[in-house]
Amino acid sequence: MTAHNHTEQIPSAEQLLLSRGVKPTPQRVVIAEYLLQTESHPTADEVLSAVAQALPVALSRATVYNTLNTLKEAGVIKEVLTEPGRVRYDANITHHHHFVDVKTGKIVDIPSDKVEAIGKLLGDQYKVHGFQVLFYGEVESG
Amino acid sequence: MTAHNHTEQIPSAEQLLLSRGVKPTPQRVVIAEYLLQTESHPTADEVLSAVAQALPVALSRATVYNTLNTLKEAGVIKEVLTEPGRVRYDANITHHHHFVDVKTGKIVDIPSDKVEAIGKLLGDQYKVHGFQVLFYGEVESG
DNA sequence: ATTAGTGCAAATCATTTGCAATTAG
DNA sequence: CTAATTGCAAATGATTTGCACTAAT
């Protein structure tokens, strides 16, 4: 039950970009909208093909990369490293972790509070600024 | 106080390869030896330049990649993903985690038992086969 | 007009692959 | 001789960059 009624509480992608100091060009808005509504942790290429589809505007590969980097630097999205050779993106910028379903390859967000305790497990010779957990396993379909 | 006396308890790289069913060619032995004695989590390129140095044998980039893949598949080494775009390698094949020192970029191994508890933190809708923690912070120099 | 942003094509970087030459059994 | 391994160079895939073009102030 996530918020997608008609009385739209979610800030528009455009407002989000503005609030982060990123000029909301049509390309950027479309990419941000796509990332905000998917849970698929897409690569740059996946963003391009998904967005090239229902396309209200032309979009080049270079712009996808530019935009992803701009959004990342502005804190609108995060990089996710799960496999060698490609970067995935996630519009969930809350501190959280990932679970890779080894059967389907699906990547599921795991909220931070589930694994919060981790930050305290290392001795005090380590100052932990943050951490990132990548789980591998299977998610119950039900 | 790790084992590096002269009464060498450590199996030779050659024996290690044999025990894993990998034919110990000179190139493979040299690469394995290098990985076994470093804690630097090198990339393929770093392996190449390090080994090209004190070189008892010629070595091409392709062979470095071939060997790293062979050793990985044989379970002699592990991949470590800490940054986009490149793979690092670790001859520590015990189940463990990593700590990236944000000041120096150094990557330190964290033994599994320090964070063991993590596997149990998710609810039972997740069957956790394994997990990988990447810490960011600072290590006390002392 | 000036500046930021886009798109194309070329460049770069890490990695892989095809294939001929080399080595080991 | 046969099979596996190496090395070179070309190919590939992801990402970046140079630069001319366009849009917005």
Amino acid B7: pLDDT: 53
pLDDT tens-digit series, residues A33-87: 999 999 999 999 999 999 987 777 889 999 999 999 999 999 999 999 999 999 9
Q: How far apart are CA B96 and CA B110, in angstroms?
A: 6
Residue-level pLDDT at B105 = 85
Q: What is the mean pLDDT of chain A?
A: 87
Nearest to A126 among B127, B131, B137 (CB): B137
Strand D close to A86 by CB, under 7 A: yes
Whole-number pLDDT of residue A104: 81
Rounded, the Å distance between the CA of B108 and C1' of D19 is: 43
Averages of pLDDT over each 10 residues, chain B, 142 residues: 50 90 94 95 96 84 97 95 95 91 86 84 81 82 62
Is B44's CB less than 7 Å from nucleic acid strand C? yes
Is the Cβ of B139 closer than 8 Å to some Cβ of chain A? yes
Q: Is it the case that residue A135 has pLDDT exceeding 60?
A: yes
- pLDDT given at position A142: 57
CA A63 / C1′ D19 distance in Å: 15
The predicted pLDDT at position B137 comes to: 80
At A61, which amino acid appears?
R
pLDDT of residue A80: 94
- Cβ B119 vs Cβ B112: under 8 Å: no
Q: Flag if A99 and B126 touch (Cβ within 8 Å).
A: yes
Name the CATH topology of B13-90. Arc Repressor Mutant, subunit A (1.10.10)
Beta-carbon separation of B87 and A84 below 8 A: yes
Q: Is B131 on the interface with A (CB under 8 A)?
A: yes
Contact A121 B114 (CB under 8 A): yes
Segments in chain B forming alpha helices (H):
13-19, 26-37, 44-53, 61-73
For B:60-99, CB contacts with A below 8 A are 79, 81-85, 87, 99
Please tell me the CATH code under which domain B96-137 is placed.
Answer: 3.30.1490
Given pLDDT bands bounded at 50, 70 and 90, which one contains residue A3?
very low
- For strand D, the positions having any atom within 7 A of a protein Cβ are 4-9, 13-18
**Contact, B60 CB vs strand D, < 7 Å:** yes
**Where exactly are the structural domains of chain B?**
13-90, 96-137
Mean pLDDT estimate for chain B: 87
- The first and second tokens of residue A16, run together, are 């989000």
Confidence of residue A130 (pLDDT cuts 50, 70, 90): confident
Which residues are CB-contacts of A77 (< 8 A; sequence separation ≥ 6)? A32, A35, A68, A71, A89, A90, A91, A93
pLDDT in the model for residue A134: 83
pLDDT value, residue B63: 96
Give percent above pLDDT 70 in chain A.
92
Interface contact B136-A130, CB threshold 8 A: yes
Nearest partner of B45 among B23, B69, B62, B28, judged by Cα: B62
The CA radius of gyration of chain B, in Å to the nearest whole number, is: 17
